[in-house]
């Protein structure tokens, strides 16, 4: 319970714990305090850096995965305990699934599908691990970075809070789906945040020969879109380096291709709805309770530096002063 204020808060560590805790509950049906253990948080953040290296060097995935398996007991410590909890819970759900229409966690449906298709246990484990890491890391990264934006953009933060006040007054209850749909400014804030924070590139395979400005891209070629540059290109955006949620008041067709934080087409990110709803609920509850500002008072949005991991992230997040709203 926040009494007055806290100074020097590391939002990245806090958001990593909260996001993975929620993904464990919602996607795996697991409740545990391990998500908040410092060792777990540190390992999850290192996993992000490793995954970023592999994303650019896919030939390393198989040999490196084999090496990590052989030394996992030494490297992963409490993360192995967390993994066992997840896998045990999935097994329990499968054993107790007597009713054909019983609602189960997403991970259980995933394992049921894999076993129906006669996939090996090792592949099932890799799928479970992938969902856990990607779901938790994605929302943790977006949440900690959007909090950073709110802290260094006080006018934007005030507008976001004002919208919450108009919907809820002084009520701090959880929002309903209908109330989430009323948060138009928060929607625009998140869209503008994703313009700075989305994946740095997007890969697609050409399904046919394509002619682009006289150059033929052959069928089967991998085409990489450098989204980081498209989303900040003055050809597509007015004042692209300025953080302006209101640029999304008038959404034109060109945004379909110059703005794609969750990918494009049938293989876009399956977690788009989950991630967006998570962020709206989390930010709604925080904005109604607390204010953010950087401890270093002169820190501005223009001072933020970005780095490419699996996503673009703030590389120099300021420590935050968190104050209770009165």
Q: Token pair of 239, please?
A: 């004042």
Q: What's the confidence (pLDDT) of residue 1? A: 47
Over residues 28-34, the mean pLDDT reads: 81
Q: What's the confidence (pLDDT) of residue 283? A: 97
Q: What's the confidence (pLDDT) of residue 55? A: 59
- How far apart (Å, rounded) are the C-alpha atoms in residues 243 and 256? 19
The length of the chain in residues reads 326
Residue-number span of the structural domain to which 314 is assigned? 5-324
Q: Token pair of 115, please?
A: 């076993």
Question: What radius of gyration, in Å, describes the C-alpha atoms of the chain?
Answer: 21
Please report, for the domain that includes residue 115, its CATH number.
Answer: 1.10.630.10
Q: Please answer whether residues 248 and 191 qualify as being in contact, where contact means their C-beta atoms are separated by less than 8 angstroms.
A: yes
Q: What's the confidence (pLDDT) of residue 71? A: 45
Angle at 122 between CA 121 and CA 127, to 5 degrees: 95
Q: What's the confidence (pLDDT) of residue 164? A: 98
Q: Token pair of 131, please?
A: 């969902």
Number of domains in the chain: 1
For the chain, what is the mean pLDDT? 82
Lowest mean pLDDT: which of 159-173, 208-222, 268-282?
Answer: 268-282
Q: How far is CA 166 from the centre of its chain?
A: 27
Q: Which residues pair with 223 in a beta bridge?
A: 204
- How far apart (Å, rounded) are the C-alpha atoms in residues 174 and 122? 39
Predicted confidence (pLDDT) per residue in 62-83, tens digit: 665 555 554 455 445 566 677 7
- How far apart (Å, rounded) are the C-alpha atoms in residues 237 and 233? 6
Q: At residue 251, does pLDDT exceed 80?
A: no
Predicted confidence (pLDDT) per residue in 91-146, tens digit: 777 777 655 556 777 777 777 777 777 777 777 777 777 777 777 778 888 999 99
Would the annotation count 148 as a binding residue? no
Q: What's the confidence (pLDDT) of residue 29? A: 81
Q: Which residues pair with 290 in a beta bridge?
A: 324
DSSP string, 60-125: GHHHHHHHHHHTHHHHHTHHHHHHHHHHHHHHHHHHH--STT----HHHHHHHHHHHTT--HHHHH
């Amino acid at each position: 319970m926040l009494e007055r204020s806290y100074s020097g808060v590391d939002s990245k560590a806090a958001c990593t714990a909260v996001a993975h805790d929620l993904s464990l509950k919602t996607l795996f049906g697991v409740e545990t305090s391990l998500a908040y253990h410092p060792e777990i948080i540190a390992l999850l953040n290192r996993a992000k850096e490793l995954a970023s290296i592999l994303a650019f060097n896919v030939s390393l995935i198989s040999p490196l995965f084999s090496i990590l398996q052989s030394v996992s007991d030494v490297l992963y410590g409490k993360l192995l305990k967390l993994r066992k909890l997840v896998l045990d819970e999935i097994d329990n759900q499968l054993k107790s699934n007597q009713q054909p229409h019983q609602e189960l966690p997403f991970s259980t449906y995933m394992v049921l599908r894999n076993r129906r298709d006669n996939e090996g246990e090792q592949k099932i484990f890799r799928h479970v691990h992938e969902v856990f890491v990607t779901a938790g890391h994605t929302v943790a990264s977006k949440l900690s970075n959007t909090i950073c934006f709110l802290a260094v953009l006080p006018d934007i933060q005030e507008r976001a809070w004002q919208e919450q006040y108009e919907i809820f007054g002084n009520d701090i209850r959880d929002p309903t789906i209908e109330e989430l749909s009323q948060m138009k400014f928060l929607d625009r804030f998140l869209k503008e945040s994703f313009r700075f924070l989305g994946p740095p590139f997007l890969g697609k395979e050409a399904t046919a020969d394509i002619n682009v400005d006289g150059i033929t891209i052959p069928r089967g070629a991998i085409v990489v879109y450098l989204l980081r540059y498209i989303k900040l290109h003055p050809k597509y955006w007015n004042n692209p380096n300025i953080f302006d949620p209101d640029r999304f008041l008038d959404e034109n067709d060109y945004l379909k291709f110059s703005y794609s934080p969750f990918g494009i087409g049938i293989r876009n990110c399956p977690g788009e709805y989950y991630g967006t709803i998570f962020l709206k609920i989390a930010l709604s509850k925080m904005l109604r309770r607390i204010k953010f500002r950087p401890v270093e008072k002169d820190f501005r949005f223009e001072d933020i530096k970005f780095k490419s991991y699996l996503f673009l992230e703030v590389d120099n997040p300021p420590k935050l002063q968190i104050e209770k709203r009165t």
